[in-house]
């Protein structure tokens, strides 16, 4: 028999009261967990969608001449003799402070080549990186795996009569078409893609890049800062951000987050209040019991230990159950908020820890005051209490 056995016996034998307390706290925790989880999940959902948008920072050489357009984005004059970006400069992007926010760096070498007397825009790409950035590409056939393969945009393929497996000759070099990209509605439809090495050698631009697309789309990304940091690293280039879409999406999300926080705060407040009142009542009820403990020589600290241990056990359980319950509610109700794929809720470790901590803190805080009051009473007085 130790002090903790007293606490455990109380929990074990007064199930009805304890369950009531536990349920109250659990519902509070569950509500907050559900709301936060829904927000986080929607957040991630939007983040993923934003990632699929592709590049949001474009680095191009400074140029005084005319510009060609690429995907609606102003580029350096790719077909004329302008300064290009060197691979050494591309490497410098890795050194910026916010490197961790950058998901993909996709350098390209662009140029015009003649194929069966037609002028075609040839783009040398880092295939895996490009594919990561352009997740919407639907390739008939497969992506190029060697330097002697090309990937054709839909329009180019139609105009040159290409299909997976066919061959083309550029500047006397035989290249095989590994795949054709399904129509994207963008500039990509009119480009012939190949490996950087091949493009650079065909265009005579060894070690040079025409532009670098950077994907740094993520929530809270300081895009402006990233742009500034890259500009500082590559002074000779023009760095521009495509932000509009991101900003408006983020704003919508921010409203949702604020709403969730507001509701959570209210729920939490009410929950804490309920737990406090219940705890106070239950400790007051036990004043006489506390008088007995005091009479047989327990110190105030001993009794506090019993009461607080009970509070911690009950509220810890409420926290864990509340978290599980909250995740369940989020899972069930998420399809109401987000169109499309349901079921995959975001399991956030800090939310789990936070939920349990919050419950335990609430339990502790609401029992400390009444417990202190009760144990400080003269034992005589406490024993006299009638209930």
Partner 1 sequence: MSFITVRNMGKRYESGGVPVDALNGVSLQVGQGEFLAVVGESGSGKSTLLSLLGGLDRPTEGSLEVDGLDVYSLRGEKLADFRSEYLGFVFQSFQLIPYLTTLENTMLPLAIAPMKNREKRAAGIHALRRVGLEDKIDRLPHQLSGGEQERAALARAIVNDPPVLLADEPTGNLDSKNGEAVMNLLKDLNREGITIVMVTHNLGYTRYASRTIKLQDGRIVPFTDDDSSCAVTFETERKTAEEGGDSSGAARIAVPVTAAVPVT
- Interaction site with partner 1 (CB under 8 A): 1-3, 5-6, 9-10, 12-14, 288-289, 291-302, 378-381, 383
Task: Decide if 28 contacts 270 (C-beta within 8 A).
Answer: yes
CB nearer partner 1, residue 52 or residue 299 = 299
**349 vs 219, 353, 354, CA distance in Å?**
18, 6, 8
Closest separation in Å from C-beta 286 to partner 1: 9
CB nearer partner 1, residue 293 or residue 323 = 293
Closest separation in Å from C-beta 296 to partner 1: 5
Q: Is 104 exposed, middle or buried (0-12, 13-18, 19+ CB in 10 A)?
A: buried
Closest separation in Å from C-beta 292 to partner 1: 5
CB nearer partner 1, residue 74 or residue 380 = 380
Listed in sequence order, the residues at least 6 apart from 336 whose beta carbon sits closer than 8 Å to its beta carbon are none
CA dihedral 271, 277, 281, 284 (to 10 degrees): 120
Relative to beta strand 237-241, strand 57-61 is antiparallel
Closest separation in Å from C-beta 283 to partner 1: 14
Closest separation in Å from C-beta 348 to partner 1: 38
CB nearer partner 1, residue 17 or residue 331 = 17
CB nearer partner 1, residue 83 or residue 299 = 299
Task: Decide if 76 contacts 240 (C-beta within 8 A).
Answer: no
Listed in sequence order, the residues at least 6 apart from 143 whose beta carbon sits closer than 8 Å to its beta carbon are 127, 131, 151, 178, 179
CB nearer partner 1, residue 16 or residue 349 = 16
CA dihedral 352, 357, 358, 363 (to 10 degrees): 130
CB nearer partner 1, residue 4 or residue 142 = 4
Closest separation in Å from C-beta 303 to partner 1: 10
CB nearer partner 1, residue 270 or residue 383 = 383
Closest separation in Å from C-beta 3 to partner 1: 5
Closest separation in Å from C-beta 28 to partner 1: 26
């Amino acid at each position: 028999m130790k002090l903790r056995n007293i606490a455990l016996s109380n929990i074990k034998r007064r199930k009805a009261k304890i369950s009531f307390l536990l349920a109250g706290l659990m519902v509070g925790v569950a509500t907050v967990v559900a709301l936060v989880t829904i927000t986080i999940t929607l957040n991630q959902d939007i983040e993923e969608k934003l990632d699929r948008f592709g590049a949001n920072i474009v680095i191009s050489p400074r140029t005084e001449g005319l510009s060609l357009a690429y995907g609606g984005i102003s580029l350096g004059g790719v077909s004329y003799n302008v300064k290009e970006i060197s691979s050494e400069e591309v490497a410098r992007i890795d050194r910026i402070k916010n490197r961790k926010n950058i998901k993909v760096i996709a350098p390209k070498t662009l140029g015009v080549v003649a194929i069966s007397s037609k002028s075609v825009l040839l783009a040398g790409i880092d295939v895996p990186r490009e594919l990561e950035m352009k997740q919407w590409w639907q390739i008939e056939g497969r992506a190029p795996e060697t330097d002697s393969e090309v990937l054709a945009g839909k329009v180019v393929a139609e105009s040159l009569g290409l299909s997976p497996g066919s061959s083309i000759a550029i500047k006397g070099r035989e290249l095989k078409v590994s795949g054709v990209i399904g129509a994207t509605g963008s500039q990509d439809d009119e480009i012939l893609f190949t490996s950087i090495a091949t493009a650079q050698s065909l265009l005579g631009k060894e070690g040079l890049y025409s532009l670098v697309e950077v994907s740094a789309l993520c929530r809270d990304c300081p895009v402006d800062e990233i742009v500034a940091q890259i500009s500082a690293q590559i002074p000779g280039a023009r760095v521009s951000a495509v932000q509009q879409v991101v900003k408006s999406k983020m704003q919508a999300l921010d409203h949702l987050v604020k709403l969730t926080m507001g509701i959570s705060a209210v729920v939490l407040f009410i929950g804490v209040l309920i737990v406090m009142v219940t705890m106070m009542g239950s400790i007051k009820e036990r004043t006489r019991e506390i008088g007995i403990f005091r009479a047989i020589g327990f110190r105030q600290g001993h009794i506090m230990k019993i009461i607080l241990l009970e509070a911690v056990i009950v509220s810890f359980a409420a926290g864990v159950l509340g978290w599980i319950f909250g995740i369940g509610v989020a899972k069930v109700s998420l399809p109401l908020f987000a169109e499309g794929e349901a079921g995959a809720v975001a399991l956030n470790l800090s939310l789990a820890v936070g939920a349990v901590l919050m419950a335990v803190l609430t339990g502790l805080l609401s029992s400390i005051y009444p417990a202190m009051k009760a144990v400080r009473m003269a034992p005589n007085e406490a024993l006299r209490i009638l209930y």
